[in-house]
């Protein structure tokens, strides 16, 4: 980072770090500048130009996401020229795709929709021409509707700079430009590993999570912060639920470490097991070795176990009983489990599958 | 873990995940990071893109090889020889951290003596790693200002697993990399809360925070806290329990959320042993292969249906929170334990997971400063001894937990079962990106099964051609212990003469094949090496 310098932002003189961009300084000082292509921790590309501002003595409007501050810079974020440029850009983006919010899964959390509202636009001044791409629906995890793509490139940067999976890039030029895997393949036929980062960063409904479709509107979902249940990284994630069902999973960016908002395919798409019909729902007891399991109440199960364990302990000693704690369960449960084995049973025969 | 505990005094990842991205060199060995810890793999790749050097030591041509400056492809199970070779070059060329070795370590002379014979030429003979590549890697590692070692089960699942880990510690200490930001010896733990299960005393020889059961003062402390008389005798490890069940000295096993009938080596043997038990209690989400053998099966809540904490691979304690209700009558595991304990006359009454955690921190010094209130703001890395303490990003700064870092002089020993005329292929087992452990959760997820629906036998193109096996053809893999069938996947990921299989699928139980030979200290089975034959099915 650089030195402390003074700039004037919307009439206010403020001290800022010389290593920062205009956008970052505005953000730090509570001034809203709209963005679409900008995404923290990826390269600032200045592709969408929605973040333009006026800088005194500059030749034209500048993209605030790419422009570093300099001493005594005078910046205005809300002039008529700025707003006119922003409207033009948003209307062009609007007219270039099939942005039909009625059927769009992102309705209510679409950044393009939000900006149209913020700029108080009723309709684009240009004729709407959708590119007519076919929907990509041939896998069970991610849907792609390139008719809603605004070519901001966030997915490309997320894939290459955040996840470094190096699957997505731009292809073709001008109005034929599109994003996707090499050789215009579908995700399922490409080297995509379905981390879902592209869907997480997409500002519109172009890349969405397939299972979440028709499962609940954004404002109906309940968000619960938790820790992923798979590997030892401990990614922080948000489970979105509706009617007691997990609808989708997003990486949690608030906590930073360890995953800074990223997930892998297991965390993102591996939650179907929770609501799977195979889940056990009642205690089962096999009263004699060759019998079938019979459903039981919890009280019957606790009594059956307690009687048997007490008898075995009495006849063969506590060390004839062993327990496997679990690398899958919580700290609280592992603590109680070993306490139970040691204090209630009286043996140190407790281990788990750390070794496997 | 035993290996690191012996050398440093503490068995855990020494440094933090975020440091991986900001170090000068990463040495990754026995970790297929991009598949098994994808978010850490992502950070390794990001580091490389920013200029961090990467050395990969692995028999398989894993994804990270594409990003590596140097790839050493050793014969499976020859890790000690390769690391001793690196140590040999670094000492011979005087590239080691002399001050650090003098001030902070002991046992250097014995180490120097043992590694003398591991010249690059000698190591090439054992491991197949070209002498010149070994020298280059040694110099690159030694010259890095900060170097981080990452490893996982590819290092530990050998009969020499503990020795392998100690070798990693030797290398890191020799170049002064332990106790600095961006350095360290970093075991990547495979399961969400394997670190926590160990921290909480889910081990036969220790109470929470690795306090020894054999230590009388410690035991008295826990007897007072728990109001019970405790046994001074360390208990049995998982593999010893299975053997004892077979001999009839263990009569009952209580299993919480584990599936040894798919995860343990030599499954036919495990099954016979478990069937001899008078009582087997299993609590799980599903009717697993293990639950099918039980006398009582108890339905429990998944991670999304309860509150609690997990401790990740970098010692970070983090919350899980209830998002949905458990199905049917399923209860949280802790509620089940309380129910059994109360029926047996040992009172366990807690209103919530939080209440249990409040008891945990009283008897677990490394967690003493952590509370649910603090965890609302984000995870905390232990040791965190007081409520004011910020947690510990990296261990062993200025001083090792045991005082001086201990070099271990280690000789290479060959794996327990090597290929021969009858069983000419070497089988290694492990995980793939799309699945997890015994597959009970991932095989029930639509997307994951779509991307990876079945077990595959990864075989080198040259071997496949010799045996006239084509892509997708079913093959039979046989070891001295059993046979499984699966489709062939022809890939140069596998070295000639080696095959790789995952252990996720119950219908292709690769652990029917594996060798139950154990590391004598860590008691970890040698999943990474056994001898098999391969033929068209």
Domain A133-275, CATH among 3.40.50.300, 3.40.109.10, 3.40.50.720, 3.30.70.20: 3.30.70.20
Using DSSP, state whether B83 is helix, strand or coil.
Answer: helix
Question: Are B199 and B150 found together in one domain?
Answer: no
Please provide the distance, in angstroms rounded to a whole number, between the alpha carbons at the two ends of chain B.
40
Decide if A161 and B316 are in contact by the 8 Å CB cutoff: no
Q: What is the per-residue pLDDT for B520?
A: 82
Element (H, E) at A156: helix A154-157
Decide if A284 and B188 are in contact by the 8 Å CB cutoff: no
Q: Measured at the alpha carbon of residue B181, what is the angle toward residues B178 and B183, in degrees to the nearest 5? A: 45
Low-confidence ranges of chain B (pLDDT < 70): 1-2, 9-10
List CB contacts (< 8 A) between B335 and chain A.
none
Express each pLDDT in B4-49 by its tens digit. Answer: 877 776 678 999 999 999 999 999 999 999 999 999 999 999 999 9
| CA–CA distances in Å: residue B370 to residues A177, B119, B200, B245, B309 | 52, 49, 14, 39, 11
Binding-face residues of A in 30-69 toward B, CB within 8 A: none
Where b means 16+ CB within 10 Å and e means fewer, B21-59 reads bebbbbbbbbbbbbbbbbbbbbbbbbbbeeebbbbbbbb
The CATH number linked to B259 is 3.40.50.740
The three state secondary structure string of B181-248 is CCCCEEECCCCCCHHHHHHCCCECCEEHHHEECCCHHHHHHHHHHHCCCCCCCCCCCHHHHHHHHHHC
Binding-face residues of A in 295-334 toward B, CB within 8 A: 298, 301-306, 308-310, 312, 316, 318-334
List CB contacts (< 8 A) between A318 and chain B.
231
Sign for the pseudo-dihedral over CA of A35, A38, A40, A44: negative
Q: What is the per-residue pLDDT for B10?
A: 67
| CA–CA distances in Å: residue B133 to residues B68, B70, B82, B336, B494 | 13, 7, 11, 55, 20
Separation CA A226–CA A242 (nearest Å): 16
| CA–CA distances in Å: residue B99 to residues B86, B96, B166, B169, B174 | 19, 9, 21, 17, 10
Express each pLDDT in B448-495 by its tens digit. Answer: 999 899 989 999 999 999 999 999 999 999 999 999 999 999 999 999
Question: Which residue in chain A has the smallest CA separation from B436?
Answer: A230
Separation CA B502–CA B60 (nearest Å): 14
Element (H, E) at B261: helix B260-263
Separation CA B288–CA B294 (nearest Å): 10
What CATH number is given for A4-78 in this structure?
3.10.20.740
With the CA atoms of A90, A91, A92 and A93 taken in that order, what torsion angle do they form, in degrees rounded to the nearest 10?
A: 50
Residue A355: band (very low, low, confident or very high) from pLDDT cuts 50, 70, 90 = low
Concatenate the DSSP letters of all residues of B7-38 into one string: HHS--S-SS-GGGGGG-SEEEEES--HHHHSH
Concatenate the DSSP letters of all residues of B272-312 into one string: HHHHT-SEEEEEESS--TTGGG-SEEEEB--GGGS-EEEE-
Question: Which residue in chain B has the smallest CA separation from A340?
Answer: B341
Separation CA B89–CA A332 (nearest Å): 47
Decide if A334 and B201 are in contact by the 8 Å CB cutoff: yes
* Sequence-ordered list of residues with C-beta below 8 angstroms from that of B91, at least 6 positions apart, any chain: B112, B115, B174
Domain with CATH 3.10.20.740 in chain A: 4-78
The CATH number linked to B28 is 3.40.228.10
List CB contacts (< 8 A) between A141 and chain B.
447, 450
- The domain tally of chain B equals 3
In this complex, is the C-beta atom of A162 within 8 Å of any C-beta atom belonging to chain B? yes
Question: Are B206 and B299 found together in one domain?
Answer: yes
Q: How far is A84 from chain B (nearest CA, A)?
A: 39
What is the pairing mode between strands B530-536 and B474-478?
antiparallel
Q: What is the per-residue pLDDT for B524?
A: 84
Question: Whole domain around residue B441: which residue ranges?
Answer: 425-536
With respect to residue B302, please indicate whether it lies within any of the assigned structural domains: yes
Binding-face residues of A in 262-301 toward B, CB within 8 A: 262-266, 269-276, 278-286, 289, 293, 298, 301
| Domain edge (last residue) among B148, B170, B188 | B188
Q: Within 13 A of B382's CA, how many CA atoms are on the CB side?
A: 27
Q: How far is B102 from chain A (nearest CA, A)?
A: 34
Decide if B328 and A227 are in contact by the 8 Å CB cutoff: no
Q: B5 preceded by cis ω (within 30°)? A: no
With respect to residue B199, please indicate whether it lies within any of the assigned structural domains: yes
Q: Which residue from B238, B294, B346 is facing A324, i.e. has the nearest CB?
A: B238
What is the pairing mode between strands A178-181 and A207-209?
unpaired
The DSSP symbol for A287 reads S
* Sequence-ordered list of residues with C-beta below 8 angstroms from that of B302, at least 6 positions apart, any chain: A229, A273, A274, A279, B285, B326
Q: What is the per-residue pLDDT for B1?
A: 54
| Both tokens assigned to B304 | 């999304």
Question: Are B447 and B354 found together in one domain?
Answer: no
Question: Which residue in chain B has the smallest CA separation from A245?
Answer: B324
The DSSP symbol for A347 reads -
Optimal mutation site among B48, B156, B286, B324, interface A, most CBs of chain A within 10 A: B324
Q: Which residue from A224, A269, A340 is facing B447, i.e. has the nearest CB?
A: A269
Question: Are B203 and B239 found together in one domain?
Answer: yes
Question: Which residue in chain B has the smallest CA separation from A299?
Answer: B339
Question: Which residue in chain B has the smallest CA separation from A354?
Answer: B194
Rounded mean pLDDT, A253-267: 91
| Both tokens assigned to B400 | 């090792």
Binding-face residues of A in 189-218 toward B, CB within 8 A: 193-195, 211
Q: How far is A150 from chain B (nearest CA, A)?
A: 27
Express each pLDDT in A132-150 by its tens digit. Answer: 999 999 999 999 999 999 9
Question: Are B303 and B199 found together in one domain?
Answer: yes
Give, to the nearest 10 degrees, the angle between helix B120-127 and helix B131-143.
120
Q: What is the per-residue pLDDT for A298?
A: 98
Question: Are B459 and B369 found together in one domain?
Answer: no
Question: Are B172 and B225 found together in one domain?
Answer: no
| Domain edge (last residue) among B188, B214, B242 | B188
Q: What is the per-residue pLDDT for B4?
A: 80
Q: Which residue from A266, A337, A355 is facing B523, i.e. has the nearest CB?
A: A355
Q: What is the per-residue pLDDT for B239?
A: 86
The DSSP symbol for A5 reads E
| Both tokens assigned to A312 | 């075995």
With respect to residue B72, please indicate whether it lies within any of the assigned structural domains: yes
Question: Which residue in chain A has the smallest CA separation from B301?
Answer: A274
Answer for the pair A170, A198: CB distance below 8 angstroms, yes or no.
no
Domain with CATH 3.30.70.20 in chain A: 133-275
Q: What is the per-residue pLDDT for B401?
A: 83
Separation CA A319–CA A346 (nearest Å): 8
Residue A90: pLDDT over 90: yes
Give, to the nearest 10 degrees, the angle between helix B120-127 and helix B79-92.
170
What is the pairing mode between strands A168-171 and A178-181?
antiparallel
Q: B383 preceded by cis ω (within 30°)? A: yes
CB pairs under 8 A between A and B: 466
Give the global pTM.
0.94
Residue A292: pLDDT over 60: yes
Q: What is the per-residue pLDDT for B6?
A: 74
Which bin fits B505, alpha (ψ -120 to 50), beta or left (φ > 0)?
A: beta
Where b means 16+ CB within 10 Å and e means fewer, B377-410 reads ebbbbbbbeeeeeebbbbbbeeebbeeebbbbbb
Optimal mutation site among B5, B153, B343, B358, interface A, most CBs of chain A within 10 A: B343
* Residue among B86, B36, B15 nearest B57 (CA): B86
Average pLDDT over chain A, rounded to an integer: 95
Separation CA A97–CA A131 (nearest Å): 6
* Tally of CB atoms within 10 A around B467: 16
| Both tokens assigned to A154 | 């966030």
Q: What is the per-residue pLDDT for A256?
A: 84
Question: Are B169 and B206 found together in one domain?
Answer: no
Question: Are B314 and B352 found together in one domain?
Answer: yes
Decide if B321 and A224 are in contact by the 8 Å CB cutoff: yes
Q: What is the per-residue pLDDT for B270?
A: 84
| Both tokens assigned to B86 | 């690196």
Using DSSP, state whether B323 is helix, strand or coil.
Answer: coil
In this complex, is the C-beta atom of A347 within 8 Å of any C-beta atom belonging to chain B? yes
Q: How far is B119 from chain A (nearest CA, A)?
A: 32
Sign for the pseudo-dihedral over CA of B375, B377, B379, B385: negative
What is the pairing mode between strands A4-9 and A12-17?
antiparallel
Rounded mean pLDDT, A176-184: 94
Question: Are B285 and B357 found together in one domain?
Answer: yes
Q: Which residue from A338, A355, A356 is facing B200, i.e. has the nearest CB?
A: A338
Answer for the pair B79, B167: CB distance below 8 angstroms, yes or no.
yes
Separation CA B35–CA B448 (nearest Å): 13
List CB contacts (< 8 A) between A195 and chain B.
38
Name residue, tokens 């209130």: B373
What is the pairing mode between strands B147-151 and B25-29?
parallel
Separation CA B251–CA B273 (nearest Å): 10
List CB contacts (< 8 A) between A283 and chain B.
296-299, 329
């Amino acid at each position: 980072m650089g030195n402390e310098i003074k700039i004037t932002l919307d009439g206010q003189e403020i001290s800022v770090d010389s290593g920062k961009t205009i956008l970052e300084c505005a953000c730090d000082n509570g001034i809203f500048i709209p963005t679409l292509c900008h995404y923290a921790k990826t390269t600032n590309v200045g592709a969408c130009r929605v973040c333009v501002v006026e800088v005194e003595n500059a030749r034209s409007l500048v993209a605030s996401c790419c422009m570093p501050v300099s001493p005594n810079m005078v910046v205005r974020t809300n002039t008529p020229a700025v707003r006119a440029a922003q409207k033009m850009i948003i209307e062009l983006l609007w007219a270039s795709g099939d942005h039909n919010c009625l059927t769009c899964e992102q309705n209510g959390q679409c950044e393009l929709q939000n900006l149209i509202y913020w700029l108080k636009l009723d309709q684009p001044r240009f004729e709407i021409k959708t590119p007519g791409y076919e929907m990509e629906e041939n896998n069970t995890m991610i849907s792609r509707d390139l008719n809603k793509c605004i070519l901001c490139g966030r997915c490309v940067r997320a894939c290459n700079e955040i996840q470094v999976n190096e699957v997505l890039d731009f292809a073709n030029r001008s109005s034929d430009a599109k994003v996707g895997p090499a050789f215009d393949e579908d995700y399922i036929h490409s080297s995509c590993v379905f981390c879902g980062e592209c869907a997480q960063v997409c500002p519109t409904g172009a890349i969405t999570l397939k299972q979440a479709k028709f499962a609940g509107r954004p404002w109906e979902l309940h968000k619960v912060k938790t820790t992923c249940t798979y590997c030892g990284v401990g990614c922080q994630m948000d489970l979105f639920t509706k009617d007691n069902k997990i609808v989708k999973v997003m990486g949690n960016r608030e906590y930073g470490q360890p995953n800074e908002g990223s997930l892998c395919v297991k965390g993102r798409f591996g939650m179907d097991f929770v609501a799977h019909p195979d889940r056990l729902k009642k205690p089962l007891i096999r009263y004699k070795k060759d019998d079938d399991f019979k459903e039981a109440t919890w009280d019957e199960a606790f009594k059956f176990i307690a009687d048997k364990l007490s008898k075995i302990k009495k006849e063969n000693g506590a060390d004839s009983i062993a327990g496997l704690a679990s690398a899958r369960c919580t700290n609280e449960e592992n603590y109680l489990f070993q306490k139970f084995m040691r204090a209630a049973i009286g043996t140190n025969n407790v281990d788990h599958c750390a070794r496997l | 873990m035993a290996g690191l505990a012996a050398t440093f005094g503490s068995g855990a990842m020494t440094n933090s995940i975020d440091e991986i991205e900001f170090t000068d060199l990463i040495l990754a060995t026995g970790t297929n990071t991009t598949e098994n810890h994808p978010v850490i793999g992502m950070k390794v790749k990001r580091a490389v893109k920013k200029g961090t050097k990467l050395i990969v030591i692995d028999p398989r041509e894993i994804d990270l090889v594409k990003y590596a400056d140097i790839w050493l492809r050793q014969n499976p199970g020859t890790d000690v020889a390769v690391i001793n070779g690196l140590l040999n070059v670094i000492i011979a060329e005087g590239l080691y951290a002399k001050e650090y070795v003098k001030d902070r370590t002991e046992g250097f002379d014995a180490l120097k003596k043992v590694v003398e014979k591991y010249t690059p030429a000698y190591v090439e003979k054992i491991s197949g790693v070209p002498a010149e590549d070994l020298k280059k890697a040694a110099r690159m590692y030694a010259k890095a200002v900060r170097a981080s070692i990452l490893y996982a089960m590819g290092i530990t699942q050998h009969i020499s697993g503990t020795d392998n880990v100690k070798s990693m510690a030797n290398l890191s200490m020799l170049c002064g990399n332990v106790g600095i930001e961006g350095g360290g010896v970093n075991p990547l733990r495979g399961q969400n809360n394997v670190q926590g299960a160990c921290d909480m005393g889910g081990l036969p020889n220790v109470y929470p925070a690795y306090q020894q059961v054999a230590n009388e003062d410690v035991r008295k402390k826990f007897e007072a806290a728990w109001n019970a008389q405790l046994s001074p005798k360390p208990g049995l490890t998982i593999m010893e329990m299975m053997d004892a069940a077979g001999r009839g000295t263990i009569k009952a096993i209580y299993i919480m959320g584990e599936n040894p009938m798919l995860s343990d080596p030599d499954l036919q043997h495990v099954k016979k042993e478990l069937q001899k038990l008078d009582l087997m209690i299993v609590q799980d989400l599903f009717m697993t292969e293990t639950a099918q053998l039980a006398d009582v099966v108890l339905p429990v809540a998944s991670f999304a249906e309860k509150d609690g904490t997990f401790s990740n691979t970098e010692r970070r304690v983090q919350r899980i929170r209830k998002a949905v209700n458990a199905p049917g009558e399923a209860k949280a595991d802790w509620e089940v334990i309380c129910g059994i304990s109360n029926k047996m006359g040992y009172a366990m009454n807690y209103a919530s997971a939080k209440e249990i955690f409040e008891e945990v921190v009283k008897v677990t010094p490394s967690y003493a400063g952590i509370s649910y209130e603090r965890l609302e703001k984000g995870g905390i890395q232990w040791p965190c001894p007081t409520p004011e303490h910020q947690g510990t990003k990296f261990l062993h700064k200025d001083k090792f937990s045991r005082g001086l870092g201990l070099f271990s002089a280690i000789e290479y020993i060959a794996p327990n079962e090597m290929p021969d005329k009858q069983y000419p292929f070497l089988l290694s087992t492990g995980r793939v990106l799309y699945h997890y452990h015994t597959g009970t959760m991932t095989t029930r997820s639509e997307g994951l099964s779509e991307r990876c629906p079945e077990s595959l036998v990864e075989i080198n193109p040259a071997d496949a051609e010799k045996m006239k096996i084509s892509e997708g053809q079913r093959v039979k893999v046989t070891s001295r212990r059993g046979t499984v069938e699966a489709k062939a996947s022809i890939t140069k990921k596998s070295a000639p003469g080696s095959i790789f299989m995952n252990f996720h699928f119950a219908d292709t139980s690769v652990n029917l094949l594996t060798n139950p030979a154990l590391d004598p200290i860590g008691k970890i089975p040698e999943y990474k090496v056994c001898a098999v034959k391969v033929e068209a099915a």
